[in-house]
Amino acid sequence: MKQPGHIAPHEPEEELLSADDAWQDFLSLRQALAAGSEALLQIDRATQALVHDLIVAGVARSAEEVIRRAVQSFYVATYPQADRRLPAVRETRQD
């Protein structure tokens, strides 16, 4: 993490939020993040837990990264099998 230099405060004369405001902010953000994830991950609970664990463990920074890397790994792992089938699939599509 980059260490901060001195950054001047923003409008220090203005009143900022209360603890209750901050709590409402958290609930609002949590809801928005959950809604975003719901669209992203319509997958079963056990797999969601795996994705969550990977993020919390710091292996990936987001669910999108987990999915991207998982698909890339899966592609590489199954490439010999896919490589044999792809020419036939492409020929079928051209027909």
Partner 1 sequence: MPVEYQHADKVTGKIVVVSNTGPLISAFQSGRIDLLRRYFSAIYIPESVLIELQAHGAGNFVQQLIAEELLVVEAIGPEESTKVEQLARQIAASARVKDHAGHQAEAEAIVLMSRMTGEATQLLLEEKAARKIAQSLQIPLTGFVGILLQACHDAVLTAEEMRAALLMCRQQGTHYGESLIAETFRRCKEVRRK
**Residue ranges in contact with partner 1 by CB under 8 A:** 1-19, 21-26, 28-30, 32-38, 40-45, 48-49, 51-52, 55-56, 61-64
Q: What CA–CA distances, in Å, run from 47 to 34, 66, 71, 72?
A: 16, 11, 14, 17
Shorter beta-carbon distance to partner 1: residue 4 or 80: 4
Q: How far is the CB of 60 from partner 1 (least distance, A)?
A: 11
Instruction: State the nearest-atom distance from the C-beta of 50 to partner 1, in Å.
Output: 9
Angle among Cα 51, 80, 90 to the nearest 5 degrees reads 95
